Amino acid sequence: MLSTFFVNLCVIITFMYLSGIIAKFYSIRLPFPSLRVQMISGLLFGLYGTVLMNYSFHINDSTIVDLRHLAVVTAAVYLGGLASIVSGVIIAILRIGMFGITSSAIDAAFIMILLGLSGVYFAYASWSRLTKIITMNLLGMTMIFIVLLMNTDSISTLMKVYPMQLTLAFAGGIFIYFIAEFINRSNEMLFVLERRASTDHLTDLSNRRQFEQSLRAELQHARHYHQKLSLLAIDIDRFKKVNDTHGHSAGDAVLKQLGQLLVAHARSTDLVSRHGGEEFAILLLDCGYHQSITIAESVRKAVARFLFALPNGQTVKLTVSIGVAVYPDHCDDHDDNDLFDQADRALYEAKNTGRNRVCSLPPRNTIVADEDWL
């Protein structure tokens, strides 16, 4: 009997580990996953509970005990109310399907459904997760005791099993809590590391590494669908003067505000990134020459009008120079870096011809240059 319950705990721990791996594919920064994810997770935890029934202890021919209710408890506390209901229903259906229609099976199925429904309350209660697990676990064990009492002729036989089941259920709930919290923290750390690897820490825009990955992917997409792809290379004019005059904290404030300004004036489908220092870029998806020049001019004028607030309460006005390049008009179709190189060359042209302007180089690929150039 003790070995059976121990196997239950080992199975639960294994399931929690597998669920932690699966959880990496979903957002862990939301209070609860989407309804679709809850539905799938509820099904998964319902199957977990069903597996536990295969490692059960028989009190009599029709009554078994195990720790299947912990699957419902975990689904409720860590996944949400819908997951709790689905897992309880799945366990109830498979309890009857696996062991036949008996009074004890019907009672056990009813208890699992009732526990799943109660999980809706526990899921959204403003308690700590540990409190939820302990309380819901005790509620489930109380329900189970009532069902066992109804389906067991000998109280002495029941009392030989139930105290051990209650003790191990309590220990199992605590195990689940610590394992789940460890998995959550590990996934959160992984999320933060992945985000830091692709995001500029100051502006929250994509960093150069992420930009280069996006550029390769979008170039491949543009080649496949024969679409235009434009790139704006943006540099703040005389940014060093801001740092020298007002300090680096003022420079950081300017960079943050510029990042927000670029996002506001880009289209929702465009990709805005910071490449380091005062250099930014905007990747304009499905965008030809004329439209990219219009967007670049809109950005340039917006920056020139904007009053950048500094930490000391002062404001400054700045300008930007912008270089524009368009795929496939400006670049080699077989070189993923050429589009950026051409935009960078156009940026230097804007810098060398007076700053606060938008420049582009003549089209290299005259065969595919569209009528926007005419």
Which residues are catalytic, by number?
A: 278
Does an H or E element contain 336, and which? none
Dig out the tokens for 341 from the structure. 């190189």
Tokens of 280: 């930014």
Q: Exposed, middle or buried, 134 (CB in 10 Å: 0-12/13-18/19+)?
A: middle
CA distances from 291 to 32, 186, 269 (A): 41, 45, 14
**Single-letter amino acid, residue 181:** E
Six-digit token string for 138: 């005790």
Taken in order 264, 267, 268, 269, the sign of the CA dihedral is negative
Does residue 348 contact residue 341 with C-beta atoms inside 8 Å?
no
Q: What DSSP designation does 180 have?
A: H
What is d(CA 211, CA 205) in angstroms, rounded to the nearest whole number?
10
Tokens read off for 286: 């499905």
Beta bridge partners of 282: 232, 272
Looking at the chain, list the stretches that DSSP marks H as alpha helix, in order from N- to C-terminal side. Answer: 2-23, 35-53, 69-78, 81-99, 103-124, 129-151, 155-198, 208-225, 239-246, 248-265, 289-305, 338-352
> Is 273 in contact with 212 (CB distance < 8 Å)?
no
- Nearest to 179, CA basis, from 14, 40, 42: 14
Going by C-alpha positions, the residue among 113, 121, 119, 115 that lies closest to residue 94 is: 113
Angle between helices 248-265 and 289-305 in degrees, nearest 10? 140
The residue type of 180 is: A
List phi, psi (to 5°) of 287. Answer: -135, 120
How many other β-carbons are positioned within 10 Å of the β-carbon of residue 371?
A: 8
